[in-house]
Amino acid sequence: MIQLELDEIKKQKNLVVLWGITFMVLFPVLIIFGLLMRLSQGDITSPSPGDFYAYMTFHGLGMAGTLYSFAFAGLWYMNATKLVKLNIKVGYFIYGAILVGVVGLLFGVIIEKYAPGWYMLYPMPFKGTSWTTGATTISVISLIILGVAWLVGILHILFALSKEYAGFTNLLGWQYLKKQEVTKELHPLALITMISLLPGLFAIITGAALLIMYLIQSLEPSMSYDALLMKNMVMFFGHTLVNITLYCCLGWVYTLLPEFTHREWKVNKVLVYSWNATFIAIVFAFFHHLYMDFSQNLAFHYVGQFASYLSPIPATGITMFGVVAQIYHSKMKWTIVPVSFLIGTAGWATGGLAAVIDSTIAVNRVLHNTLWVPAHFHSYMLMGVVLFILGFLFYIFYGEDKNKSDKIAQFGFWTFIVGAYGFVLMFYLGGFNSVPRRYSSYVGIDVANVHSTGALLAVIASVFIVVLLIGLLAMYISLFKNLKENRATV
């Protein structure tokens, strides 16, 4: 643990508060784009297919980027105030570059109608498009800027930690597996940071290579690439980025929950084995996105099945057990921060189980192109990652009053929970009823029951989104009120 001057801590806190405010602005905007999509599927509105898929592209890319960026920002803050000194100027560079990337993407998608979806499957951005080559170019450049910012941030944190703990192997906790006595205790935050960001480094380098190839083809249309290779690259990048977003958040849980329970959460052999197994699973689990490719090497499917089954067990099991052990008979106050972490862990486990079900090859053949897929990733993103983020925001914005019980915040929190679970439930019911995903409207579906069921579930989901937004607004009122009060007393 490092000792920082109060001025340095204040600088790092100002940066993470800026990140928090930016997240609080972008998040409901992106939710509204999701609401527009569900209203279209519920036959309430009738946007053009081009508009719908532009909404879907911005919602998907925007949510993935926004959630990862804030998860990374929180991880930066925790490391910068607990473990290592991080350059605040680099932190602001990352923030500024990401802001530029978001603005460019917003222009490319909303103004220029770039609409291939978050996955941008090749050659979709170039063949038979309803948008201009310029829209592709500016969107790809914006994504490259985001990737550069994330890459700089990851390298800065990893090199700082490797210097503090004398190497990457020590960050992985391998010294705990030797017979010699450990001379320097590894903080769980350092271990989880390493396990999260190293696969992220591989993913972002892969994504950068993919985007540079896209940029070259947008500037030189005669270029072409192998479509299967491009798909494998985008799936590795996207799947890994979404997974490490959640693991970055777990770094806060392992670090902050003990402040409420007053119990240490130490690294030991079990923790090291579990998180190192998770590292391997993170790298290979994306293969379950390749099941539908008949020309794919058959070995990939076996690896995907095995890695997908392995991925949720070590980290999820050890974390859930650890959370329960931390809370059991701890006599802590059940305020929003620890409750957010507890329910977020449950949401992660629920979504993870649904993902494992879908990653089973025999089941995937039936569920892959249904609403079951957005059901499982909305479960662990909305009810896992977002709850972790909200808990972190309450921790930061409340300051010394972190155990404060605020009725407005509690109303908003439980309203948000009801709205979010109701919204996600409609996706699961849609999956059970074979309602397809990525459709702008269900009108053209020949099976009348699928059309009517899909439209009805979309309308109900829209109502729950409104409930969710009401809860979010109430929490925002509490957060800004307490931030203002804390600023006034500094």
Which are the contacts of 435, defined by CB distance < 8 A and separation ≥ 6? 370, 371, 442, 450, 453, 454, 457
pLDDT, position 398:
86
Please return the burial class of 93, using the count of CB atoms within 10 Å of its CB with bins 0-12, 13-18 and 19+: middle
Ranges under pLDDT 70 in the chain: 1-4, 401-403, 487-490
The full 3-state SS of the chain, as one line of letters, equals: CCCCCHHHHHHHHHHHHHHHHHHHHHHHHHHHHHHHHHHHHCCCCCCCHHHHHHHHHHHHHHHHHHHHHHHHHHHHHHHHHHCCCCCHHHHHHHHHHHHHHHHHHHHHHHHCCCCCCCCCCCCCCCCCCCCCHHHHHHHHHHHHHHHHHHHHHHHHHHHHHHHHCCCHHHHCCHHHHCCCCCCCCCCHHHHHHHHHHHHHHHHHHHHHHHHHHHHHHHHCCCCCCCHHHHHHHHHHHHHHHHHHHHHHHHHHHHHHHHHHHCCCCCCCHHHHHHHHHHHHHHHHHHHHHHCCCCCCCHHHHHHHHHHHHHCCHHHHHHHHHHHHHHHCCCCCCCCHHHHHHHHHHHHHHHHHHHHHHHHCHHHHHHHCCECHHHHHHHHHHHHHHHHHHHHHHHHHHHHHHCCCCCHHHHHHHHHHHHHHHHHHHHHHHHHHCCCECCCCCCCCCCCHHHHHHHHHHHHHHHHHHHHHHHHHHHHHHHHHHHHHHHHHHC
- Dmax (CA) for the chain in angstroms is 68
The first and second tokens of residue 300, run together, are 């990939």
The whole-number pLDDT of residue 314 equals 77
pLDDT of amino acid 125: 86
pLDDT tens for each residue of 311-343:
777 777 888 888 888 888 888 888 999 999 999
Q: How high is the pLDDT of residue 490?
A: 45
Q: What is the pLDDT of residue 487?
A: 64
pLDDT of residue 211: 93
Tokens 């309203």 correspond to what residue?
A: 415
CA dihedral 393, 395, 396, 398 (to 10 degrees): 110
Who's near 1: CB < 8 A, 6+ residues apart? Answer: 82, 83, 187
- With 0-12 CB in 10 A as exposed, 13-18 as middle and 19+ as buried, what is 16? buried
- CA dist 474 and 383 (Å) reads 18
pLDDT for res 317: 81
As a whole number of angstroms, the distance between CA 314 and CA 304 comes to 17
| Letter string b/e over residues 417-439, b meaning 16 or more CB atoms within 10 A of that residue's CB | bebbbbbbbbbbbbbebbbebeb
Distance CA 418, CA 382 (A): 12
**What's residue 304's pLDDT?**
81
The rounded distance, in Å, linking the Cα atoms of 423 and 441 is 18
Distance, in Å, from the CA atom of 93 to the CA atom of 302, rounded to the nearest integer, reads 42
